[in-house]
Amino acid sequence: MEPAAAKLIGAGIACIGMGGAGVGVGIIFGNYLAAAVRNPSAAQGQFGNLIFGFAVTEALGIFSLLIALLLLFVPL
Amino acid sequence: MKIDPIHQFNIEPLFTIGHIGNHTIAFTNSTLYMFIAVAVISLLMIGGMAGRQLVPGRLQSIAEISYEFVATMIRSTAGAEGMKFFPLIFSLFMFICVSNLIGIIPYTFTVSSHIIVTAALALLVWFTVLIYGVSKNGLKFFKIFLPSGVPIFVLPLVVFIELLSFFFVKPVSHALRLFANMLAGHIALKVFAGFVAMLGVSLGAIGWVGGIAPLALTVALTALELLVAFLQAYVFAMLACIYLNDAIHPGH
């Protein structure tokens, strides 16, 4: 296989990792919404925790996106 | 036709200042947009607070709201003691937010889409945490690597994870998150905008009419980018607060 083709396939495979981050972010926002509907008065106080959990989860998806970008745009 | 979504991130020197060794020190478009961001913030804060009216006008309202927003964020995450870092957090938040928002305007340059800029900002926070934590708490600062209430036989693993987290994952993810979000958002915008031109050039009149769909999507994506630009500035500032909280109150 040509190296260029292998790099493109590798970039595609690396993007699968972002699916996991998508699931994680969905769980965080879904659970926040479920809790906020049950107890709306406590929702505002947990907004900071929501954003923190979102940021930490999203970082892992960003790592796999970074691998894809490195494979696509950095000449080896 | 070929679209080049990476071209927008090119750094072009506007004029040369001097040389250090073989390296050219130049005033680039990145430098220019950093200056623009600082100028906008200065105008907003100094101009907004010049009147000091009891009932604030529009500019004064923006200045007061941004102050209150950052102050509330620091008090809720790092406690009242964290307010001594207000100037740092406020500068970080305003600089990132304003440069992100300027970057959304077409044909401008996004400063935070370069990892060297975000890494510099993240390392600034990281060294502040390390130096302030050690100078305030002495050796007690290193208790952040030893969580209390952990069984002794998993302690080596937990300490290893905490060390890895503090020295590698936290600074790297802090810098990467902002950089990758801005980069990916702007590439996505360019790719969808490219669809309009590609349809029009290849299909003619039918293509230009069909191009309305990707154009509408580009507008919607720009609105999403507006949210992301603000949210990433908020996330960056809030993570800085949480890391500073470790330095102010070590030991979980």
Tell me the pLDDT tens digit for each residue of B189-242: 888 888 888 888 888 888 888 889 899 999 999 998 999 899 999 999 999 999
Range of the domain at A62: 3-73
Q: Where do the domains of chain B lie?
A: 7-248
Cα separation, A22 vs B236, in Å, equals 20
User: What mean pLDDT, rounded, does chain B reach?
Assistant: 89
Percent of chain A with pLDDT strictly greater than 70: 99
Cα separation, A64 vs A15, in Å, equals 6
Instruction: Please give the average per-residue pLDDT across B59-81, as a whole number.
Output: 91
Residues of A in contact with B239 (CB under 8 A): 52, 55
Give the Å distances, CA to CA, from A74 to A8, B100, B176, B181: 12, 24, 16, 18
pTM: 0.87
B22 pLDDT above the threshold of 90: no
pLDDT of residue B91: 95
Residues of A in contact with B184 (CB under 8 A): 65
pLDDT of residue B78: 87
Nearest to A51 among B6, B184, B234 (CB): B234
Instruction: Please give the average per-residue pLDDT across B49-68, as a whole number.
Output: 87
Q: Is B191 on the interface with A (CB under 8 A)?
A: no
User: What mean pLDDT, rounded, does chain A reach?
Assistant: 89
CATH number at residue A62: 1.20.20.10
Cα separation, B246 vs B168, in Å, equals 16
Please name the amino acid found at residue B23: H
pLDDT of residue B1: 58
Contact between B177 and A73 using a beta-carbon 8 Å cutoff: no
pLDDT confidence tier of residue A76, bands split at 50, 70 and 90: low
B2 pLDDT above the threshold of 70: no
A70 pLDDT above the threshold of 90: no
B39 pLDDT above the threshold of 80: yes
Cα separation, A1 vs B132, in Å, equals 53
Percent of chain B with pLDDT strictly greater than 70: 98
